[in-house]
C-alpha cells in the first residue's frame, strides 16, 4: 500500500510538472526548442535511454541534427555534437553555460554541494577554490616541487610489477593504485611515511572511489524528478551518505595529524608544505580576504582530487597500453624512441618526457578515441540562451558529446583507426581547448584544472611501463577494446596482461 501511494504521488507530481512545462514551452518564441524524439507522457525519453549514453546520443544526432533535445522526466536535456555549436556553448557564451545541474548523489558526496570545484556554480567561491588549487598544486612550479613524490610512487609501481613478472596483471587496477598513491602523496605526502600504511589507505580509497563512481553513474529518479528527491526512492543518497562518512573518517584522521604538525611548528611555514597544509593555513586565515574558506571546503577539495584524479588517469593509461598492444608497430616505435632517449642502461625520469614526441602523439590519439569524460561534466545555463538558432532554456542539462565530435568522419580521416601519426603535423591540436575539433579535457572556464598534472603523470607512467617491460596477453585470451559508459570512459573488460622485464640490470627495477 505504501509503495502504491508513493507511486501515485510521483505520477501526480510528474503530471503537474508536465502540464506547467508544456504551457511554458508551447508559447510562441523567436527560436524553438531543439528538435528531438517526442518521448512518452510524464517520463519522456527515459524508457529509451541506452547504457552507452555517448554512442546513443551520437545516433540521435544523426537523426535529429547536431543539436537536439529530449525530455528526461522533469528535466530537459540538450545535446551538442558539432565543433561550431560546442564553441557557442563553451566559448562564445561561456559565462552563461558555466554552471552545473548537480545530481543528488553528487550533492551528498561533496558535503552538500557548493564547496568544491567540479560541481560548484560559477562564482566567487568557485574562482577562489580553483585559483588555490592551480596556484599551489597544479601549476608547473608546484608540480616540479613534488616530483620526488611522483617518482617514488612510479618506482614503487615498477618494483611491484617486477615482483609479478610472468604472471597476469590487471593493468587498470595496478594503474589505479599507482595513481591513487600519486594523488594522496601529492595531497599529504609527508603523513603516510610508512609504506604499509600508504598501501592500506590506498586500497580503502580504491574501494570507496569505485563505489562512488558507480553510484554517480546509476540512474536516479531524484535527478529526473527533483520534487521526489526528498524521498530517495532508489536509496542512492542513503548509500552515498554511508560512503561519505567512511571518507570523512579518513579525512578527519589525516587532518588532525596535520593540525598537530602545524601547532608544533607554531603555525609558521617550515618549507616543503603539501597541499593539505596550505589549505589548513588558508582555513585558519579565513580565506583569501574576499571569500571564506572553511573546513568543509578542505574536505570537499580533498574529495575532488581523490575521486576526480584517479579513475580518469588510470583508465587513460589502461586504454593506452591496450591500443598499443593492438598495434605492435606503434608499440615498437614507442619503445625505440625510449631506448634512444633513455637507453636500456637508464631509468625513465620525468625530465625525459619532453623528449618523447612520438609517445606524446600516442597519448593524444588515445584521448581522441577515449576521452576520459565522453560527455564532459554537463553544463547548465543560468539564463535562457539561443544556440544554433534554437532556444536552450534556463536550468536545462547541456551535454557536449566530445566523444562523437572527436570521431566525426567529416573532421577526421578514418576516425575509428588508431593512428598517432595524424597528430604529427597538427600543432593546433593540443589540450588547451581552443580547437573544438579536439578538446578531451573540455574548454572554457570549466576546463579541467588538472591537465598539466594528468599529462605529466600519464606520460611518465606509460613511458616507465614500456621501457621496463614487454607486455603480452595470457595464452588463450584475446584483446578487446569495447567501451563501457560511466562517469568516466572505461574498458568494458579489464586489460589483463603479462609483464616481462626487458632491462638487463635488476638495479633498474629498484
Whichever domain contains 324, its CATH number is 1.10.630.10
Q: Which residue has the higher pLDDT, 138 or 171?
A: 171
In a domain, 54, yes or no: no
| Chain length of the chain | 510
Report pLDDT for 192: 42
Range of the domain at 159: 124-509
Position 7 scores a pLDDT of: 44
Q: Is the pLDDT of residue 501 over 90?
A: yes
Q: What is the pLDDT of residue 269?
A: 47
Q: For 30, what's the count of Cα atoms within 13 Å in the CB-facing half-sphere? A: 6
User: If pLDDT is split at 50, 70 and 90, which confidence band does 381 have?
Assistant: very high
Show the cell assigned to 412: 577526421
Residues 407 and 410: their CA atoms lie apart, in Å, by 9
Return d(Cα 125, Cα 243) in angstroms, integer.
25
pLDDT band, very low/low/confident/very high, at 1 (cuts 50, 70, 90): very low
Contacts 24+ apart (CB under 8 A), 426-431: 429/364, 431/367, 431/455
DSSP string, 252-300: HHHHHHHHHHHHHTTT---S---HHHHHHHHHHHTSSSSS---HHHHHH
**Rounded-to-integer distance, Cα 111 and Cα 252, Å:** 14
What is the number of alpha carbons within 13 Å of residue 224 lying toward its C-beta? 20
Please give the pLDDT value at position 191: 39
DSSP classification of residue 485: -
The Cα–Cα gap between 476 and 473 comes to: 8
Task: Provide the 3-class DSSP secondary structure of residue 108.
Answer: helix
Q: What is the DSSP string of 228-248?
A: GGGG-TT-HHHHHHHHHHHHH
pLDDT of residue 202: 59
Averaging pLDDT over each range in 16-20, 269-273, 413-417, 489-493, which range is the top one? 413-417
Closest CA to 226 of 380, 85, 122: 380
In a domain, 72, yes or no: no
Instruction: Kindly state whether residue 102 falls inside one of the protein's structural domains.
Output: no
pLDDT of residue 200: 63
The C-alpha cell that represents 293 in the structure block = 574558506
DSSP, collapsed to helix, strand or coil, labels residue 172 as helix
- Provide the grid cell at 209: 572511489
C-alpha cell at 49: 535511454
**Rounded Cα distance, 78 and 99, in Å:** 15
Confidence at residue 166, expressed as pLDDT on a 0 to 100 scale: 94
Let me know: does 491 contact 319? Beta carbons within 8 Å: yes
Closest by CA to 285, choosing from 301, 304, 269, is 269
For the chain, give the mean pLDDT. Answer: 87
φ/ψ of 170, rounded to 5, equals: -75, 100
Nearest to 200 by CA among 183, 171, 186, 180: 180
3-class secondary structure, 387: strand
Domain assignment present for 394:
yes
172: pLDDT strictly greater than 70: yes
Q: How sure is the predictor about 76, in pLDDT bands with cuts at 50, 70 and 90?
A: very high
Q: What is d(CA 427, CA 361) in angstroms, rounded to the nearest whole number?
A: 11
Is residue 199 predicted with pLDDT exceeding 70? no
CA atoms 351, 356, 360, 362: torsion sign: negative
The mean per-residue pLDDT over the stretch 351-377 comes to: 96
Q: What is the pLDDT of residues 452-489, one digit of tens each?
A: 999 999 999 999 999 999 999 999 999 999 998 877 88
Q: How confident is the model at residue 394 (pLDDT cuts 50, 70, 90)?
A: very high
- pLDDT score, position 429: 85
Say if 113 falls within a structural domain: no
| DSSP class per residue in 329-346 | HHHHHHHHHHHHHT-TTS
Alpha-carbon distance of 149 to 181, in angstroms, equals 9
What pTM value is reported for the model?
A: 0.89
How many other C-beta atoms lie within 10 A of the C-beta of residue 506? 9
101-110, 436-445, 464-473, 483-492: least confident range: 483-492
As beta bridge partners, residue 392 has 385
Q: Which three cell numbers stand for residue 160?
A: 611491484
Number of structural domains (the chain) is 1
The residue ranking higher by pLDDT, 66 or 1, is 66
Band (pLDDT 50/70/90 cuts) for residue 274 is confident
Q: d(Cα 440, Cα 164) in Å, to the nearest integer?
A: 34
Q: Give me the mean pLDDT over the 257-280 stretch.
A: 72
Query: What CA–CA distance (Å, rounded) separates 316 from 297?
Result: 28
Percentage of the chain surpassing pLDDT 70? 89
Q: Name beta bridge partners: 379.
A: 398
Residue 295 has pLDDT above 60, yes or no: yes
> In the sheet that 67-72 helps form, which strands lie side by side, from edge to edge?
67-72, 75-80, 397-400
* Range with the poorest average pLDDT among 11-20, 44-53, 241-250, 368-377: 11-20
The Cα 146–Cα 125 span in angstroms is 27
pLDDT of residue 196: 52
3-state secondary structure of 184: helix
Does the residue 23 lie in any domain? no
Q: Is 448 annotated as a binding residue?
A: yes
In a domain, residue 172? The reply is yes
Indicate the pLDDT class of residue 197, thresholds 50, 70 and 90: low
Q: What are phi and psi of 477, to 5 degrees?
A: -110, 160
Query: HSE of 312 in the Cβ direction (CA atoms, 13 Å)?
Result: 24
Our CA angle for 282, 285, 288, nearest 5°, is 65
Is the pLDDT score of 142 beyond 50? Answer: yes
Q: Name 170's bridge partners.
A: 496
What whole-number distance in Å separates Cα of residue 474 and Cα of residue 478?
A: 8
Where does residue 351 rank: exposed (0-12), middle (13-18), buried (19+ CB within 10 A)?
Answer: exposed
Residue 168 lies in a domain: yes
Considering Cα of 270, then 271, then 274, then 277, what sign does the dihedral take? positive
What confidence tier does 8 reach under pLDDT thresholds 50, 70, 90? very low
- How far CA 485 is from CA of 155, 171, 261, in Å, comes to 32, 19, 43
- Kindly calculate the radius of gyration of the chain based on its CA atoms and give it in whole angstroms: 24
Amino acid at each position: 500500500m505504501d509503495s502504491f501511494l508513493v507511486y501515485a504521488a510521483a505520477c501526480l507530481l510528474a503530471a503537474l510538472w508536465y502540464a506547467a512545462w508544456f504551457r511554458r514551452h508551447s508559447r510562441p518564441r523567436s527560436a524553438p526548442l531543439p528538435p528531438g524524439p517526442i518521448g512518452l507522457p510524464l517520463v519522456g525519453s527515459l524508457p529509451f535511454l541506452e547504457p552507452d549514453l555517448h554512442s546513443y546520443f551520437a545516433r540521435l544526432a544523426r537523426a535529429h541534427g547536431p543539436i537536439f533535445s529530449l525530455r528526461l522526466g522533469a528535466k530537459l536535456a540538450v545535446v551538442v555534437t558539432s565543433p561550431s555549436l560546442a564553441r557557442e556553448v563553451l566559448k562564445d557564451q561561456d559565462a552563461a553555460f558555466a554552471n552545473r545541474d548537480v545530481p543528488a548523489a553528487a550533492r551528498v558526496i561533496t558535503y552538500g554541494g557548493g564547496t568544491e570545484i567540479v560541481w560548484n556554480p560559477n562564482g566567487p567561491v568557485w574562482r577562489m577554490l580553483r585559483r588555490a588549487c592551480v596556484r599551489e598544486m597544479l601549476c608547473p612550479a608546484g608540480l616540479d616541487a613534488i616530483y620526488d613524490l611522483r617518482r617514488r610512487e612510479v618506482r614503487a609501481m615498477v618494483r611491484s610489477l617486477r615482483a609479478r613478472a610472468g604472471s597476469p596483471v590487471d593493468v587498470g587496477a595496478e594503474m589505479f593504485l599507482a595513481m591513487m598513491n600519486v594523488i594522496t602523496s601529492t595531497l599529504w605526502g609527508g603523513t603516510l611515511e610508512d609504506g604499509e600504511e600508504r598501501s592500506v589507505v590506498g586500497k580503502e580509497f580504491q574501494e570507496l572511489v569505485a563505489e562512488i563512481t558507480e553510484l554517480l553513474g546509476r540512474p536516479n529518479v531524484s535527478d529526473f524528478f527533483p520534487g521526489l528527491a526528498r524521498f530517495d526512492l532508489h536509496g542512492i543518497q542513503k548509500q552515498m551518505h554511508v560512503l561519505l562518512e567512511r571518507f570523512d573518517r579518513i579525512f578527519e584522521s589525516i587532518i588532525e595529524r596535520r593540525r598537530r604538525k602545524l601547532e608544533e611548528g607554531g603555525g609558521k611555514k617550515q618549507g616543503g608544505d603539501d597541499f593539505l597544509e596550505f589549505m589548513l593555513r588558508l582555513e585558519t586565515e579565513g580565506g583569501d580576504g574576499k571569500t571564506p574558506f572553511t573546513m568543509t571546503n578542505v574536505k570537499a577539495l580533498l574529495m575532488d582530487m581523490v575521486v576526480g584524479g584517479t579513475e580518469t588517469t588510470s583508465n587513460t593509461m589502461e586504454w593506452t597500453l591496450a591500443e598499443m598492444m593492438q598495434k605492435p608497430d606503434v608499440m615498437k616505435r614507442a619503445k625505440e624512441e625510449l631506448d634512444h632517449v633513455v637507453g636500456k642502461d637508464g631509468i625513465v625520469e620525468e625530465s625525459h618526457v619532453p623528449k618523447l614526441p612520438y609517445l606524446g602523439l600516442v597519448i593524444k590519439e588515445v584521448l581522441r578515441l577515449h576521452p576520459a569524460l565522453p560527455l564532459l561534466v554537463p553544463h547548465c545555463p543560468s539564463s535562457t540562451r539561443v544556440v544554433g538558432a534554437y532556444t536552450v532554456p534556463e536550468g536545462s542539462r547541456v551535454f557536449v558529446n566530445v566523444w562523437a565530435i572527436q570521431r566525426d568522419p567529416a573532421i577526421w580521416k578514418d576516425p575509428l583507426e588508431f593512428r598517432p601519426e595524424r597528430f604529427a603535423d597538427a600543432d593546433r591540436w593540443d589540450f588547451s581547448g581552443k580547437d573544438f575539433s579536439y578538446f578531451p579535457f573540455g574548454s572554457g572556464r570549466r576546463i579541467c584544472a588538472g591537465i598539466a598534472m594528468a599529462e605529466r603523470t600519464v606520460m611518465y607512467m606509460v613511458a616507465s611501463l614500456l621501457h621496463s617491460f614487454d607486455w603480452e596477453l595470457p595464452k588463450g585470451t584475446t584483446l578487446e577494446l569495447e567501451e563501457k559508459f560511466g562517469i568516466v570512459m572505461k574498458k568494458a573488460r579489464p586489460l589483463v596482461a603479462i609483464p616481462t622485464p626487458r632491462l638487463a640490470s635488476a638495479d633498474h627495477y629498484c
